[in-house]
């Protein structure tokens, strides 16, 4: 991409992880094919969908057959086949690694996310100088109450508690600069939450209001165990900040134990507070327990540093001059 993007047709790769898309893939790709030729964003920038990468995550046979048919019929459709079911994030990363477009969009297979907003997301990227733009649905997702509630809590917990950067609310409908997408996909280790990995390297993030649609099939739902698994993976891959809470909690216990000791001693000297066996027990529990938590928290910081390296958190990412890529 160049600063004169309004005159040049920006190539955009679309990555679609596929697991159970037999009923929805054809309609989704048909919508994307309308953007395969020269197209304009709402602000007049030229772009086109240069390729659609369908990544099969060892799902249903019907989805595999649908992928093969689309690959044979349309020259801009590419199929990627995984050796086993690695999960949606891993499948998305596989597609990002194989992409060639100047920008990369990720879409779900269910048809809930409207591809017609890709142009508006490109405009938002250029207007704000952002390397990453998330879709921001203005209406509720057509999922179960449990899944919607769990999703809202997970995003809030990550943004307010775990995130070490000024990140925004994330969504599986994303627009990323190609250099960012392919570098993150290359360096991200096993088990890392994709949006956590993006938060490590992206300097500017924006959101684009979109309208979600009903799924083109019966609405899917996650089990409680699967929702918990997603939450734990987000926590573990978010870096060392969660471990800081252990140290902080231990420090507070030590302080509380010290204050209780001072209060007990003062009460004993003043003669106004009867001292029983509970006093020494409480002080011992608070001080020893706090010191233990504090020590574990410090050790955890070292473990966390090693974890960051094993997760593939890059030291830096080299990209082109932002003036060339974002027109800054």
* Terminal CA-CA length for the chain: 12
Residues 182 and 283 reside in one and the same domain? no
CB-based contacts of 221: which residues, under 8 Å, 6+ apart? 143, 144, 146, 147
* Residue 45 to residue 326: CA distance in whole angstroms: 13
Residue 162 clears pLDDT 90, i.e. is over it: no
Q: By residue range, what is the domain housing residue 48?
A: 10-238+313-325
Closest CA to 275 of 263, 264, 262: 264
Residues 14 and 137 reside in one and the same domain? yes
Quick check: is 287 in a domain? yes
- The token pair that represents 76 in the structure block: 């801009």
Quick check: is 55 in a domain? yes
Residue 191 clears pLDDT 70, i.e. is over it: no
Quick check: is 2 in a domain? no
Residues 169 and 300 reside in one and the same domain? no
- The token pair that represents 257 in the structure block: 């134990």
- The token pair that represents 144 in the structure block: 């179960």
Residues 257 and 204 reside in one and the same domain? no
Closest CA to 37 of 78, 74, 79: 74
pTM: 0.71
Q: How many domains does the chain have?
A: 2
* Residue 197 to residue 176: CA distance in whole angstroms: 13
Q: Give the model's confidence band at 4: pLDDT under 50 very low, under 70 low, under 90 confident, else very high.
A: very low
Residues 257 and 182 reside in one and the same domain? no
Residues 32 and 102 reside in one and the same domain? yes
Mean per-residue pLDDT for 194-199?
A: 85
Quick check: is 111 in a domain? yes
* pLDDT tens figures, 200-233: 888 889 999 999 887 654 555 556 566 666 666 6
Residues 204 and 79 reside in one and the same domain? yes
* Residue 156 to residue 159: CA distance in whole angstroms: 5
Quick check: is 95 in a domain? yes
Q: What CATH number corresponds to the domain at position 104? A: 3.90.550.10
Q: What is the 3-state secondary structure (H, E, C) of 222-273?
A: CCHHHHHHHHHHHHHHCCCHHHHHHHHHHHHHHHHHHHHHHHHHHHHHHCCC
Residue 117 clears pLDDT 70, i.e. is over it: yes
> What percent of the chain has a predicted confidence (pLDDT) above 70?
62
Residues 55 and 171 reside in one and the same domain? yes
Quick check: is 258 in a domain? yes
Residues 220 and 281 reside in one and the same domain? no
Quick check: is 3 in a domain? no
Residues 166 and 281 reside in one and the same domain? no
Residues 184 and 154 reside in one and the same domain? yes
* pLDDT tens figures, 123-156: 999 999 999 999 998 876 555 555 566 666 666 6
CB-based contacts of 158: which residues, under 8 Å, 6+ apart? 167, 170, 195, 196, 234, 238
Residues 56 and 189 reside in one and the same domain? yes
As a whole number, the mean pLDDT across the chain is: 78
Quick check: is 4 in a domain? no
């Amino acid at each position: 991409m160049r600063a004169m993007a309004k005159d040049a047709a920006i190539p955009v790769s679309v990555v679609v992880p596929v697991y159970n898309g037999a009923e929805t893939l054809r309609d989704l790709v048909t919508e994307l094919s309308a953007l395969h030729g020269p197209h304009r964003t709402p602000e007049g920038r030229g772009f086109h969908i240069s390729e659609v990468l369908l990544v099969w995550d060892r799902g249903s046979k019907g989805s595999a057959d649908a992928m093969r048919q689309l690959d044979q019929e349309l020259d801009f459709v590419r199929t990627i086949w995984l050796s086993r079911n690695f999960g949606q994030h891993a499948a998305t990363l596989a597609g990002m690694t194989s992409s060639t477009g100047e920008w990369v969009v990720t879409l779900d297979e269910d048809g809930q996310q409207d591809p017609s907003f890709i142009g508006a997301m490109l405009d938002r990227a250029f207007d704000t100088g952002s390397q990453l733009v998330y879709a921001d649905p203005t209406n509720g997702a057509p999922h179960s109450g449990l899944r919607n509630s769990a999703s809202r809590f997970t995003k809030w917990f990550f943004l307010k508690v775990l995130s070490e950067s000024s990140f925004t609310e994330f969504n599986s409908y994303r627009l990323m600069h190609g250099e960012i997408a392919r570098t993150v996909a290359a360096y991200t280790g096993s088990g890392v939450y994709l949006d956590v990995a993006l938060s490590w390297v992206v300097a500017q993030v924006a959101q684009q209001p979109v309208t979600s649609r009903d799924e083109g099939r019966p609405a899917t739902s996650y089990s409680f165990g699967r929702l918990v698994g997603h939450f734990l993976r987000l926590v573990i891959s978010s870096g060392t900040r969660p471990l800081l809470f252990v140290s902080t909690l231990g420090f507070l216990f030590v302080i509380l134990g010290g204050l209780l000791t001072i209060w007990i001693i003062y009460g004993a000297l003043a003669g106004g507070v009867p001292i029983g066996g509970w006093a020494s027990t409480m002080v011992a529990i608070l001080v020893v327990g706090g010191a233990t938590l504090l020590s574990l928290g410090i050790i955890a910081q070292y473990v966390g540093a090693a974890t960051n390296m094993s997760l593939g958190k890059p030291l830096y990412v080299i990209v082109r001059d932002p003036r060339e890529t974002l027109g800054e």
